[in-house]
Structure 1
Amino acid sequence: MRGLIFTSSKPPSPSNSFAQTSSMSTHSHHQTFSVSIMEEDLLHAEQIIKRWDLDSPFYTKLDYLFTGDQQEARQFIISVNNLQSAMHFFISENANSEKIIHAQKLMQVAMKRLQKEFYHILSAHRDVLNYVSASVLFSKTRSSDSVSDEDNPSHEYDQITTVMKDLKTIADCMISSGYGKECVNIYKILRKSVVDETMYNLRIEKYSFNQINKMNWNVLELKIKSWLNAVKFAVNSLFSRERMLSDYVFTSSEKIRESCFSEICTERALVLFEFPELVAKSKKSMERMFKTLDLYSAVSDLFPDIETIFEFESVAVVRTQAVTSVVKLGNAVRAMLADFEASIQKETLKTPVTGAGIHPITRYVMNYLLVLIYYTDELSDIVADYPLQLQIQSPVTNLIVNQLIQRK
């Protein structure tokens, strides 16, 4: 019959009713217990965070959380983490709760404090971060776990280990709390200033092709010597260190690690590796041969390290620039060898020698070739694939090149 509603005539089971009531009571008790715990965490976090409120009249402006009692610093970080958990809980319970607004204000206070701490550690300890060599830095900071006494032979190692761990702790906390951007901006600004200053002290400057091409050779030779003295340190100390620093401090985010290293080092690395290319494309003469080979040797020897340090896709342009410089330098050497051959032929025809006499240019050629022997490996790489293009006619030069090819 339409509209007829059938209901059970059997009364509810007392046991079922009791079970439902008991379940509701347990759930309510559990919920109340959870709220109580979160409120306690919120209160405890407030007590600790407020002690380090930058806007509070009760704290000394010269005090720093991470340069004093490490236990206090640990409690602060734990409080922030607990505060974050409490915020998530209260949001799930009631998105309009006043407790959420209160917790957000506390979080802002905490993040403002951590920003100041992060900036202070990076700026106050920049000499410490730059003091230890890249290899030592890597061995001391590759793990966030405690380092044994055996691995800490000096006070400097203890100090840098502490500094690195503090930076990582703050970065992890700020990123997980949604304030990663503020942390990263501070890091990029301060570390980029260190890289810029170091490159300036190494006398690595940016030049245009016209500047290099018009430069007197004596001046350019000094620039090349300065570059050769700086490039190994720049790669194996400066850039390697910055890569390891960003890798360690921002372990929690590969994207942030890459972004930091790229923004801090790419511009200066390009300036560094562009210089050899500009030299290679500038005026060519026999007096420039040996310095060109020195540049070729330096970049070629360092290229495996360059590939490792600048392995990120965002810094591929640095690897490309290094390869371009090597190729251009090789081309320049081949061109100078060809010019050398042509000048020998021209001089021989201009001043013929009769009888069994020795041509005046012979001594010059032999001395020049003897110096080239010191660049056996470099010349082998450069000429091995281009014996036909050189079209070398001089017996002496041909002999030297053939020996280099055979050694290759």
Structure 2
Amino acid sequence: MPRKGMRSLCFSSPKTLAYAISRFPSPSRSTAASLTPRPSFNESMIQQTIAAAENMIVKWNPDTSSFAKVTSLFYEDRNEAMEFIKCVNGLQKAMHLMVTENSGSDNLVRSQNLMQIAMKRLQKEFYQILSTNRAHLDPESVSARSSRASTRSSTSDYEDDGTDDDIHAAGDCISEVEHVSVTAMENLRLIAEAMISSGYGKECIKIYTIIRKSIIDEGIYKLGVEKMSLHQINKMDWEVQEIKIKNWLDAVKIAVKTLFNGERILCDHVFAASESMRESCFAEISKDGANLLFGFPELIAKSKKSPEKMFRSLDMYTAISENWPEIEFIFSFESTSAVRSQALASLIKLTESVRTMLTDFETLVQKDSSKSPVAGGGIHHLTYYVMNYLTCLADYSNILADIITDSTPPSKLHLPESYFETTDSDDTPAPALTIHLAWLLLVLLCKLDGKAKHYKDVSLSYLFLANNLQHVISKVRTSNLQYILGDEWITKNEATVRQFAANYERLGWSHVYSSLPENPTAVIPPGKAKDLFKKFNSIFEETYRKQSGWVVPDSKLRDEIKISIERKLVPIYREFYDTHRVTLGAERNLGLVVRYAPEDVGNYLSDLFYGTGSSESTSLSSSTSSSNRRQSRSR
């Protein structure tokens, strides 16, 4: 509220003086009420009011009293401080009356001089309360107190002597420290209302903004948020950037819920008498710190992209989104709309950055050019990388759903049409996030399909595909991907794993199965039986030796494959062994012909898929017991 030259009224003509004072605001509870005509005070009553005000104001004039110069009115005697405020308000009322009844009175100039002295005193008190109560008026204390005790409504009429009683009543429910905070806030509000109603709002705001802005700026600095340029961020290593982002993530929670929230509460309370002053004051205090805080994510979003930035970008997006209701409320003034705009700009830039990084991630997968087959048909490094990445993405499913909703659907270039088969039951379109993550998995599976062709042994290529798809399913089952992709996706791909495993078994073991007669108990000459035993020994040993270095990391899949092979091989071999070993009883060197008992075959199968052997070192003989092999492997 601008002052209308109150300090120069004593040098004005009576006409000018009457006009200026007619614009002087009333301290009453209602402006409308203050303009209502009242009965005239007689000269004696005006003189008494001025005299009482003069005694109090002069007593606390720091220019004429050494006591008043070093002593705080509000800390020395709060009851007397209330009387001082009443005298100021009484003097102001008397000045209004003099303007309407006797604008040429010498008492008007006298009253104005007293008012200037009083305002100087109140400015001093206002500054002292703000500066000496920094600890009690810190945003954390104010915001914590506001959650337990609502600030009382603004009161301009100090004829009610219950002010102290109200404060003491509130103090009974809170700690001593909070009581000091409450008292300081009340004192600041009383002074602010008196100064604003007397036309000194500008001076009041100037003192307040200087002190409180320094607290905001200091708080932002202590939270680790510093002013940086895009050039500086681009020059940082990712490890340094990540530290900055972590600091920001911790800082934004405290800044929104405590720092800015506490300052808004304090500002609203102190300047409750003027909405326009509340707004301009809080905007001046908070805008620099808030724009610095909410501008940081935009800088990160504009900086160089890399896959590892994805999750920190999503963290920042989440932080702003979750705090948006508080941001919108705290910075609800029109003059703080730039702060809201900056927070929204950061959200928009983070959205664009995340979409770009998703596209870059897909491109990275598609461009993977590693051609060396994984030893033993194990899990490819690309599978590990992609699944770890996607399971982490799935933890941000709610945020990602918002970000991806309006994005362009993934392109189907470079993938076979068979990957896009849908059932007739797909009546409802899948959510955008489901489509996008399923698409990224298809890109991975296509790459794995191409890498499987690098194996010279076709059966091993199918084992490789089974292993990798099983790993994908396992990661889906144990993460939020399960809820995004759904049970149908899992069921469909589990069937594909079984098909891969069946293809491996058919190509890798059919020649072992076919080395035994279809009817193992049929009567055949001893010579033919001998040849069949030798044939089985040779093919089984070759197959085992080749596959002893192959792996199946998933224990469930490993057991399923071994059980399937064992059920097809061991019972037939057992029948053949039991039937024809007797016919070869007279054969010299029988151990070289019949090398394996059925139990040995089963034990050798049980040792498969751990990747412990190699084609160069592995040899089989009937004299090597399964217990010896297991003991050797365990050591």
State the TM-score, normalized to the length of structure 1.
0.86
Paired residues of 2:287 and 2:339 also in contact (CA < 8 A)? yes
Paired residues of 2:366 and 2:443 also in contact (CA < 8 A)? no
Is the alpha carbon distance of 1:57 and 1:385 closer, same or farther for their aligned partners in structure 2, counting shifts above 3 Å? closer
- Counterparts of 2:298 and 2:482 in 1: how far apart (Å)? 27
Identify which range, 99-108 or 384-393, moves more after superposition.
Answer: 384-393
Identify which range, 148-157 or 221-230, moves more after superposition.
Answer: 148-157
- Counterparts of 1:229 and 1:390 in 2: how far apart (Å)? 38
Paired residues of 1:345 and 1:394 also in contact (CA < 8 A)? no
Matched with 1:219 is 240
Matched with 1:351 is 371
Matched with 1:333 is 354
Structure 2 residue identity aligned to 1:39: Q
Is the alpha carbon distance of 1:385 and 1:57 closer, same or farther for their aligned partners in structure 2, counting shifts above 3 Å? closer
Shift of 1:218: 1.4
Paired residues of 1:289 and 1:333 also in contact (CA < 8 A)? yes
Residue 42 of structure 1, aligned match among 12, 32, 50: 50
Paired residues of 2:331 and 2:340 also in contact (CA < 8 A)? yes
Which string of whole-angstrom CA distances, capped at 9 and with x for unpartnered residues, describes residues 235-271 of structure 1?
Answer: 1111111111111101110000000000000111011
Is the alpha carbon distance of 1:35 and 1:133 closer, same or farther for their aligned partners in structure 2, counting shifts above 3 Å? closer
Residue 142 of structure 1, aligned match among 139, 147, 151: 151
Shift of 1:373: 2.3
Is the alpha carbon distance of 1:207 and 1:255 closer, same or farther for their aligned partners in structure 2, counting shifts above 3 Å? same
The answer as to 2:116 corresponding to 1:108 is yes
Matched with 2:71 is 63
The answer as to 2:268 corresponding to 1:247 is yes
Is the alpha carbon distance of 1:40 and 1:405 closer, same or farther for their aligned partners in structure 2, counting shifts above 3 Å? farther
Structure 1 residue identity aligned to 2:141: V
Structure 2 residue identity aligned to 1:143: R
Is the alpha carbon distance of 1:151 and 1:329 closer, same or farther for their aligned partners in structure 2, counting shifts above 3 Å? farther
State the TM-score, normalized to the length of structure 2.
0.56
Which string of whole-angstrom CA distances, capped at 9 and with x for unpartnered residues, describes residues 210-229 of structure 1?
Answer: 11122221111111111111
Paired residues of 2:61 and 2:68 also in contact (CA < 8 A)? no
Shift of 1:141: 4.9
- Counterparts of 1:307 and 1:299 in 2: how far apart (Å)? 11
For 1:7-406, what aligned pairs fall within 5 Å after superposition? 34-57=42-65, 59-130=67-138, 131-132=140-141, 134-137=143-146, 139-144=148-153, 146-147=166-167, 148-149=169-170, 152-347=173-368, 350-351=370-371, 358-386=379-407, 388-389=409-410, 392=439, 394-395=441-442, 404=484
Shift of 1:59: 2.6
Identify which range, 320-329 or 33-42, moves more after superposition.
Answer: 33-42
Shift of 1:61: 2.5
Is the alpha carbon distance of 1:155 and 1:67 closer, same or farther for their aligned partners in structure 2, counting shifts above 3 Å? same
Structure 2 residue identity aligned to 1:261: F
Structure 2 residue identity aligned to 1:137: S
Is the alpha carbon distance of 1:277 and 1:149 closer, same or farther for their aligned partners in structure 2, counting shifts above 3 Å? closer
- Paired residue secondary structure (1:261): helix
- Counterparts of 1:116 and 1:303 in 2: how far apart (Å)? 38
- Counterparts of 1:204 and 1:360 in 2: how far apart (Å)? 38
Which string of whole-angstrom CA distances, capped at 9 and with x for unpartnered residues, describes residues 126-154 of structure 1?
Answer: 11011515142354352146253586231
- Counterparts of 2:252 and 2:69 in 1: how far apart (Å)? 42
Shift of 1:289: 1.3
Shift of 1:397: 6.8
Identify which range, 134-143 or 195-204, moves more after superposition.
Answer: 134-143
- Counterparts of 1:76 and 1:325 in 2: how far apart (Å)? 50
- Counterparts of 1:103 and 1:132 in 2: how far apart (Å)? 40
Structure 2 residue identity aligned to 1:43: A
Structure 2 residue identity aligned to 1:351: K
The higher radius of gyration belongs to 2
Paired residues of 2:365 and 2:444 also in contact (CA < 8 A)? no
- Paired residue secondary structure (1:178): coil
Shift of 1:396: 6.9
Is the alpha carbon distance of 1:402 and 1:371 closer, same or farther for their aligned partners in structure 2, counting shifts above 3 Å? closer
Task: Report the number of matched residues.
Answer: 376
Structure having the higher helix fraction is 1
Q: Which runs of 5+ in 1 are unaligned?
A: 1-29
- Counterparts of 2:137 and 2:183 in 1: how far apart (Å)? 11
Which string of whole-angstrom CA distances, capped at 9 and with x for unpartnered residues, describes residues 30-75 of structure 1?
Answer: 86x6221111111111111110011114534221100021110111
Shift of 1:360: 3.4
- Counterparts of 2:406 and 2:373 in 1: how far apart (Å)? 35
Paired residues of 1:277 and 1:329 also in contact (CA < 8 A)? yes
Paired residues of 2:59 and 2:65 also in contact (CA < 8 A)? no
Q: Which runs of 5+ in 2 are unaligned?
A: 1-38, 154-162, 413-438, 446-475, 487-635
Shift of 1:157: 2.1
Paired residues of 1:341 and 1:394 also in contact (CA < 8 A)? no
Paired residues of 1:344 and 1:394 also in contact (CA < 8 A)? no
Structure 2 residue identity aligned to 1:186: I
Paired residues of 1:164 and 1:249 also in contact (CA < 8 A)? yes
**Identity of aligned pairs, percent?**
46
Q: Aligned-residue CA RMSD in angstroms? A: 2.5
Greater RCO, 1 or 2 (C-alpha within 8 Å, sep 6+): 1
- Paired residue secondary structure (1:67): helix
Identify which range, 293-302 or 54-63, moves more after superposition.
Answer: 54-63
Matched with 2:538 is none
